[in-house]
Amino acid sequence: MKQKIIWILICLFLFPISAFAIDIESANMILYNLNENKIVDSKMEEEQISIASMTKIMTTLVAIEHIDNLDETVTLTNKVFAGLQEANASVAGFRIGQKVTYRDLLYGVLLPSGADAANALALFLAGSEKEFVGWMNEKAKELGLTNTHFENTTGLDKEGHYSTVKDVATMLQEALKNDTFKQIFESKSYQVSDKSMTLYSTLSTSLTRYHLKADYILGGKTGYTYDAGRCLASIAYDSKQDIYYLLVTARAPLTTAYYHLTDAIKIYDYYFENYGYQKVVSKGDSILTLQTKLSKEKEYTIQAPEDFLWYLNNNYNHEDITIQYHGIETITPFMKKGKSLGTIDIYNQNEKIGTMDITLDHKIPFSLSSFLLEYIWVIILLFVFFILLRIKVVFFPKKKRIHSR
């Protein structure tokens, strides 16, 4: 027995059991059900890390908020491209002297992850990258991103430039509220205004290159640096369950070029297959029984007024679903149909997942016999009182007073 215990401990030490249902390469991950803005899975989500080109989500959002006319043109100068080759930064492919619109530059930032486009936006909108980065940090503060600080617009590794996958998810959710950002983020390609080039999404081209099928991924921003590893911020749609998801992964090993993609596919496929909106309470279900008073009906059964759906594992244990009723304990015939009786709180294990308002769904019939039984002693006392009163009147009449004159 002792040897068996020792062997189990050795196995646990050498082969630790993962706390996560999905075996992924990324060190950091967070998954949201966007229908409810609810975190459904996470891993090291608040660890401060480098986020590579996922930085450009904030770059694009801040730029959009400072652009008055998306179709205004600017001419790209040498300053836009300074230092990009030396930093080995990814570029969209714009040229010195090229006239482009702000719309072109926005697509250039998000689709091919162009540092040239990011630099151009910073220079033309703020006058310098430093000033523009100040705007980015102000926006981060406005969104409550306490674990985020930017030092550049591109996401290149730099001391003091960090975020978390949770903060990246928050900034992406905010950015997707903007129609312009959402349209760009979900695009696979874009032809620039002068027709000289077509920009392609790094996400879609990478999926094609590695023969990976994920049509349900609506859009995404990839990224990689030495510190950040391979990263991906994406959104996906489960058409069977009508659920939108948002996923951010980071620090997948650089040793394989597609780990960030296969991680996303694993996670989305797992949740599409195993999770959805479960009908934990069905309309008409008998929820509980209340006592009645003065009625032909001895009990009143409260039934669920509507279906109640909750996002759960397909194999959830229905015995984990419990209810707590708060309201009137006894029903009488004097209550009108539609009267509010109280509320039902619905719990999954110890988590409150919803509340239902409960009303009286039909008139309770009055019962004379029940009334008589309920108040028999009162009736007897009244009857005795009446008899005594009659006896007093009959046998002890009041004497007439004689008035003297």
Write out the catalytic residue numbers. Answer: 53, 56, 113
Contact by Cβ (8 Å): 265, 220: no
Contact by Cβ (8 Å): 250, 262: no
d(CA 244, CA 217): 10
Tokens of 259: 């780990």
Residue with token string 């000289």 = 196
Contact by Cβ (8 Å): 370, 295: yes
d(CA 377, CA 29): 71
Residue with token string 């020792």 = 6
CA angle at 305 for the pair 301 and 306, rounded to the nearest 5°:
140
What single-letter amino acid sits at 198?
T
> Of 322, 285, 315, whose CA–CA distance to 302 is shortest?
285
d(CA 340, CA 162): 53
Question: In terms of C-beta density within 10 A (0-12 exposed, 13-18 middle, 19 or more buried), how is residue 121 classed?
Answer: buried
d(CA 258, CA 260): 5
> Of 186, 134, 163, 162, whose CA–CA distance to 45 is shortest?
163
